[in-house]
A and B are shown apart, each in its own frame.
Chain A
Amino acid sequence: MNREFTIALVGNPNCGKTSLFNIMTGSRQHVGNWPGVTVERKEGIAKYNGRNIKVIDLPGTYSFSASSEDELIAVRYILQDKPDVVVNVIDSGNIERNLYLALQLLEMNSQVVLVLNMFDEAEKKHIKIDQAKLAKLLGAPVVATIATRNYGIQELLATALKQEKQHREPLKLDYGTPANQVIAEIAKELEETGLATAQDSRLLAVKLLENDQFARDYVQLEKFPALQETVKRASQKIRTEAGFDPEIYLADKRYEFISMLVRECVQREATQSQDLTERLDKVLTHKWLGIPLFFIIMFLIYQITMGFGNDFLGSYVENAFALLGEYISGLMANSPELLRSFVIDAVIGGVGSVLVFVPLMFTMYFLISFLEDSGYMARAAYLMDRLMSAVGLHGKTAVAMIVGSGCNVAGIMSTRTLDSKKDRMIGILISPFISCSARLPVYALFAGVFFGGKKVGIFPASGLVIFSLYLLGIIIAVTAGKLLSKTVFKQEKSYFIMELPPYRIPTLKSLLIHMWEKTESFVKKAGTIIFGIVALIWALSIFPVGVTPGSVESILGKLGTILAPIFSPAGFGTWESAVALIVGVGAKEAIVATFGMVYGTGEEMLSNVLGQYFTPLSAYAFMVMTLLYSPCAATIGIIKKETNSLKWAFFSVAYSLVIGWGMAVLVYQLGTFLGL
């Protein structure tokens, strides 16, 4: 047996599982994907006495059944891949609810170690847990840990290793008379038909009785009519004798058992003092202060991301790439023109256009991870839900929209925390309308040229123009959300049932790890797509051989000429605008550079010539188009990945093209009519 000893971490969300994983594996970890789905698979190596132990961090789940993609992965992994030890991480301060998952895990035959994590928090809350008694009553070892202080980790690893090749009797919960009998019957039939072994038959029997979809699929119930009949009869029996659906009845029994465990093993001292969470909530979710504070926090995040991340750090990267380009250009002075152009414009320019955003992402993800780990993100959803639900959206969608104003890709990724498919799909589909930082250079150019120096009242007109575009993005996103929830996703239900975890001070280490992970995956996934598109655009701009790159004779120029008439009703029906918009699908910030190329002025002199091609009105229409038309390539890629469907990615492109074009035309025609 050369297989690595594997332990799987499983636990409720907010139980400190990821901190535990980080402390166990340190830098020896990597993020991959579970086959076929988009949920990240985190695994790493822990070391104990020189032995390598593989640790898998399973997605957080409240129960051992499969109602969301995350939960399905955890359940499937434990049942099918059979890790050597399942480590159930329990938030000690919240032990009662956390035990619900533990009971279900213990009903299986696999080796289970219970970890009472954040033991210090429980102590602070004056909660005393009798570990020995708990271990005895549950028939599994119990270890106390404090991940943030590296306490108990060695003991946990030692305990896990000790379980190797041991046999543990599955926990036989007493479900009461009608149920115990029918569970035994179903289990027996499962074993007789060879669908289950003596070890997991009881768990599967309970799950079948609960009508759990995963269990039904796992044993392929529809292929066994006799078994199906037994399960049906058993359910009926419980329904008549206990008066409830088996699902409710069995859950009640589990919670009864948990109440007994808590009575026996947990002592709570009543305290009058308010804890930190209560005091913070008094301010942060205050009736009058809560929402203004939310907007102030969001504004600060935006300012720090743009000011520090983009302008300050980003400029270093930009300059570095400019220098690199010059340097390589000098080195390749004698190389063929085509090769030089490819390396400088496509490779360095293309990679640079992605990497310029890395400091922005680092900064934003650091701050967002802080909000998430500290517990504030849950409050943000709680604060905004009433406003959002008024237009058919979910509180958590507000969080996604704010994250999306930095980068739409990040906004879409943050919709993962939404439970219902309806809320998640709508969140994904409306995120591209939120004005992201990549659109800002385009606004800055046009607003500066056409509205600079003018004032409306006391406000500078260019500032108002840019503000109006942000507002328009939000209005279109909210309207689209409302329409989608009333039409395409009319049948799907939405609900808001969410834990508000205690506030915690995140550790710098975990913030840095999250920041790195998320940025790394952005660079990898978005980088390949953006690079591909930039290379393609470059190719289109230099062929056929012999034309001036980016001129009207190039393939790109010809494509622009064909498409230009479409944009005439919006006031910018020139081949140059069309080309800029095509390139903008690759990355919106590339629009400015493209104008510099096709007008032959470079970016610096652009402002001098734009006046010849645009009026203030058509410039505004063009900005509206830039805001709304098609998500950028990276965003299209992430939509496909997150929805797991090319169809939805295509839908997103198509409907935003229609909306963008329609709004640009509307602005231009209305403005012309009003004589602007």
Chain B
Amino acid sequence: MDTANNKSGNKYLSLDKVPMNANGRIVNINMDHLMRKKLTDMGLVRGTEFTVKGQAPLGDPIKINLRGYDLAIRKNDAKQILVEQI
């Protein structure tokens, strides 16, 4: 996934690259059925807005806040989620 700009001028990047405390919106989830279903059940779908809240002491997993709760996700899994920074 390249870093590119969309028509509203926002930056496209993968979720693991979003800087701390920045906000973003999910654009596309490129995962296998099982993981995507888990994310869907947890409220992370296209269009969901989130804030990157922190990372574990060794830098991985990361913690994001969406729909009012905190979710931890491995960077390796987050890599497959395309987002736009807002």
Contact = CB atoms under 8 A, between A and B. Distances in A.
B86 interface: no
A169 interface: no
B42 A385 contact: no
A498 interface: yes
Contacts, number: 119
Contact of B37 (A97, A247, A281): A247
Contact of B47 (A94, A95, A252, A268): A252
A182 B26 CA distance: 28
A389 interface: yes
Most A CB contacts (10 A, CB to CB) among B36, B46, B68 go to B68
Interface string A288-318: 1011000000000000000000000000000
B43 A97 contact: yes
Interface in B26-47: 32-43, 45-47
B40 A499 contact: no
A495 B35 contact: yes
Given A97-B42, A419-B38, A499-B42, A382 B61 contact: yes
Interface string A480-517: 00000000000001011111111000000000000000
Contacts of B72: 378, 382, 385, 496-500
B74 A255 contact: no
Contacts of A95: 68
A502 B48 CA distance: 21
Nearest to A91: B69
Contacts of B58: 291, 386-387
A288 B57 contact: yes
A251 interface: yes
B56 A62 contact: no
A100 B57 contact: no
A496 B45 contact: no
B56 A382 contact: yes
A281 B70 CA distance: 11
B42 A497 contact: yes
Contacts of A495: 35, 38, 74, 77
A426 B36 CA distance: 23
Contact of B45 (A127, A248, A383): A248
Interface string A315-326: 000000000000
A290 B46 contact: no
B73 interface: yes
Interface in B4-62: 32-43, 45-48, 54, 56-61
User: Looking at chain B, what size class is its interface with the partner chain?
Assistant: 20 to 34
A67 B46 CA distance: 21
B67 A497 contact: no
Contacts of B56: 285, 290, 382-383, 385-386
Nearest to A255: B45
Interface in A77-110: 93-97, 100
Nearest to B73: A497
A255 B38 contact: no
Nearest to B66: A97
A497 B45 contact: no
Contact of B34 (A389, A493, A499): A493
Interface in A204-234: none
Q: Which of B36, B57, B58, B67 has the most CB of A within 10 A?
A: B57
Interface string A59-88: 000110101000000000000000000000
B67 A94 contact: yes
A279 interface: no
Contacts of A290: 56-57
Interface in A185-209: none
Given A290-B57, A383-B57, A499 B41 contact: no
Question: In the complex, which of the residues A127, A247, A288, A386 has the most CB atoms of chain B within 10 Å of its own CB atom?
Answer: A386
A34 B41 CA distance: 24
A523 B73 CA distance: 37
B63 to A, nearest CB: 6
Given A67-B37, A498-B71, A285 B54 contact: yes
A499 B37 CA distance: 15
B38 A386 contact: no
B71 A67 contact: no
B35 A62 contact: no
A286 interface: yes
Contacts of B54: 281, 285
A100 B54 CA distance: 26
A281 B69 CA distance: 14
A93 B47 CA distance: 21
B77 A497 contact: yes
A165 interface: no
Interface string A372-401: 000000100011011101000001000000
A500 B63 contact: yes
Contacts of B70: 277, 499-501
Contacts of A499: 42, 69-72
Interface in A235-290: 247-248, 251-252, 255, 268, 277, 281, 285-288, 290
A331 B28 CA distance: 77
A290 B74 CA distance: 17
A247 B40 CA distance: 10
A500 B73 CA distance: 10
A496 B68 contact: no
Contacts of A287: 57
A385 B71 contact: no
A194 B12 CA distance: 49
B32 A62 contact: no
A251 B36 CA distance: 11
Contacts of A268: 68
Contacts of B43: 96-97, 100, 255
B69 to A, nearest CB: 5
Contacts of B46: 248, 252
Nearest to A387: B58
Given A252-B45, A255-B45, A497 B71 contact: yes
Given A63-B40, A251-B45, A268-B68, 15 more contacts: A62-B41, A67-B34, A94-B67, A97-B43, A100-B43, A125-B68, A248-B40, A281-B54, A285-B56, A382-B63, A382-B72, A395-B61, A496-B73, A497-B35, A497-B39
Sorted nearest first, the 5 A-B pairs with minimum C-beta distance are A386-B58, A62-B41, A63-B41, A97-B43, A96-B67
22 contacts: A62-B42, A63-B37, A63-B41, A65-B37, A65-B41, A67-B41, A96-B43, A97-B42, A125-B68, A252-B45, A286-B57, A291-B58, A382-B61, A386-B60, A389-B60, A419-B38, A493-B35, A495-B38, A497-B39, A497-B74, A499-B42, A499-B71
Interface of B: 32-43, 45-48, 54, 56-61, 63, 67-74, 77
